[in-house]
Structure 1
Amino acid sequence: MELRQLEYFVAVTEEGSFTKGARRVRVAQSAVSATIQKLERELGLPLFTRDSAGIALTDAGAALLPEARALLSAERRARETVDQVRGGLRGTVRVGTLVSIGARPASQGPIVVDLPAVLGRFHVTHPLVTFRLRTAPTGSAGHLAAVAADELDLALVCTREQPGGVRLHHLGSVRLCFVCSRRHPLAEASSVRLEELAGETFIDFPIGWGNRTLTDRAFAGAGIARNVPFEAADQDTALGLVRNGLGVALLPRSGSEEEGLSVVDIEDADLDLPVAVAMPGDRRPSAATAALLTSILRAAGRRPAALSRRR
């Protein structure tokens, strides 16, 4: 078994097809297919089912995947450690990002940390480090699972949970407020209570996103059922729906104070959404990952702590 075979196997699995997997590793699809077929012959079992609907992991493939990722991560860390001897940080950092965390034209600054600015400064200082940025359709829940599975080196997440296999570095918090159109009956209120929002039509982020989890729990704790017919994966889309009278939302004040909208504090619910950097809790990060974490923490006004292997 060769590391190259495992690299192709993981790429095809994560990209969902041989074509996309081959594009990721920059090798002809025929070569990737032949390499994985050779691996299957060596193991004596098929790793994928292949049909007109696409590919899927077999039981053998699912069992191999975490071991393959662990071996590739170990090889990558070993190579990066040796690279340090040659001088300068090198390697690739896989980063999970949040759509709404960053500088917004309509706000006075970043919500918590301006990740694009951090990456830009880091690239100037460490040009030999490359990034692979990834969003998750399932939001913070997806990023936390990817970090635990060693698919990401670090990720920005919004969560109050402390999942197993993940270490969180707190960056700050975002307070969610009631956002409605100027035509809404509560638009001029100084503050509102959750019970006043019963019966409203809500626009919210998809299930799995940190702010959706926070708001769902707040309303469930108050015994209020919500109607959420609209889901939006970014703040701008949610604000557009609110502005056009299609519903109300709970969103950060920063970036929501726009013409045609009212932002009102909620007085009877804990709606502070923690923002953190998630990293594997049982593996020492590469030098490049540790340096990037330090840059993110400093940008958020946090003091970097020593990183050590945790078991």
Structure 2
Amino acid sequence: MSNDFTLTQLRYFMAVAEAGSMTAAAQSLSVTQSTVSAAIAQLEHEVGQPLFLRLARRGLELTPAGRRLRSRALGFLEDAGTLLAAVRDEDAELEGEMTVGIFAPLAPFRAPVILQAFERAYPKVHVRFFEADQEGLRLALAQGRCEVALMYDLGVAVDAESQVVETVAPHVIVAADHPAAANPFGEVSLRDLEADPFVLYDVPHSRDYFLALFRQLGLTPRVRHRASGYETVRSFVSRGHGYSILNQRLHHDLTYSGGSVVPLRIVEDLPPIKVVLLFPSLGTPTRRAQAFAAVCRQLYGVDL
């Protein structure tokens, strides 16, 4: 293996990895397909192993070596741009495209607010959000398809590659005509609700977290309904089908079904969910990813 690769070859490689085909990458780069193919072939020669698997009728798929290269190439190309700006005695303003992974249930609550603040601070960076579950986000980070991911810490080790953005306490929601809704302090004990039907927010990791809250108190909820949609849970509750526990709170109490819910603080001391930013484990976070984290710090007041 030699080290005679070029920045152009790396950029072409990243375009092919993103598009999944030589033809689509060539179109996005405004060059011929043969030019892209030659660059990839030369890069594979320098690396000493294939970077893509050629799959019949399925385009191209990154090999393990290709995934490792993609994870590191983002930061490398960004550093190259910073170096050129320094040589030219220019300010290295952030620009380009950035893909941010986000846990799908978090997206409607956090993505629009963060995007508005980030675009105001860095107008030359185009952010694309990739919504997925926890496993999908970890895979996207490992494959270099995201520069950073905003997710819950459920099933994720909070380590050197992650930063806590916010802690969100669980709360109960009940229908407006539920007896607990009349509590003058806006609070309730889970022990008082154990016999009531429970509507479980049934998505991976989150359901385990909610059920663990009951186990911690030695309680067993009467799970009457399971729903994988956040608004579905709220609608079921608003129509009197049971109570539920959620973390994210809306700015209003109306539901899609036309009813309303009443949020109540849980009197028992229960663990919150942590909202974290997770970075790829290979290489250092890009400047864009670090800037994204800084915007989250400004919005949520957390010292990242």
TM-score (norm 2): 0.69
Which letter maps to 1:69? S
Q: How many residue pairs are counted as aligned between the two chains?
A: 284
Tell me which residue corresponds to 1:116.
115
Distance, in Å, in 1 between the alignment partners of 2:32 and 2:272 is 48
Q: Is the 8 A contact 1:95 1:153 kept in 2?
A: yes
Say which SS state the counterpart of residue 136 (structure 1) adopts.
strand
> Percent of pairs identical after alignment?
14
Q: 1:300 to 1:256 in 2, by over 3 A?
A: closer
Tell me which residue corresponds to 2:297.
297
Structure 1 residues 11-34: Cα deviation after superposition (integer angstroms, max 9, x where no partner) = 55555x438953994558955984
The question of 1:22 aligning with 2:25 is answered yes
Tell me which residue corresponds to 2:257.
none
Tell me which residue corresponds to 1:278.
278
Distance, in Å, in 2 between the alignment partners of 1:26 and 1:299 is 36
Unaligned runs of 5+ in 1: 105-110, 305-311
Say which SS state the counterpart of residue 296 (structure 2) adopts.
helix
The question of 1:89 aligning with 2:93 is answered yes
Q: CA RMSD in A?
A: 4.3
Tell me which residue corresponds to 1:159.
153
1:118 deviates by 1.6
Tell me which residue corresponds to 1:192.
189
Structure 1 residues 144-175: Cα deviation after superposition (integer angstroms, max 9, x where no partner) = 5544554433332221643556131x333212
The question of 1:230 aligning with 2:230 is answered no
Tell me which residue corresponds to 1:264.
264
Q: 1:35 to 1:276 in 2, by over 3 A?
A: same
Unaligned runs of 5+ in 2: 255-259
Q: 1:35 to 1:134 in 2, by over 3 A?
A: farther
Distance, in Å, in 2 between the alignment partners of 1:303 and 1:270 is 23
Q: Is the 8 A contact 1:173 1:273 kept in 2?
A: yes
Higher alpha-carbon Rg: 2
Distance, in Å, in 2 between the alignment partners of 1:194 and 1:20 is 61
The question of 1:47 aligning with 2:52 is answered yes
Which letter maps to 1:97? I
1:253 deviates by 6.4
Structure 1 residues 185-229: Cα deviation after superposition (integer angstroms, max 9, x where no partner) = 654464131683467352426215xx4453243245546475663
Distance, in Å, in 2 between the alignment partners of 1:206 and 1:116 is 25
Q: 1:55 to 1:286 in 2, by over 3 A?
A: closer
Distance, in Å, in 2 between the alignment partners of 1:20 and 1:270 is 53
1:135 counterpart (130, 141, 147): 130
Tell me which residue corresponds to 1:308.
none
Q: Is the 8 A contact 1:179 1:251 kept in 2?
A: yes
Structure 1 residues 256-282: Cα deviation after superposition (integer angstroms, max 9, x where no partner) = 651421222333351412223333466
Tell me which residue corresponds to 1:64.
66
Q: Is the 8 A contact 2:49 2:65 kept in 1?
A: no
Distance, in Å, in 1 between the alignment partners of 2:27 and 2:170 is 38
Say which SS state the counterpart of residue 97 (structure 1) adopts.
strand
2:203 counterpart (177, 194, 206): 206
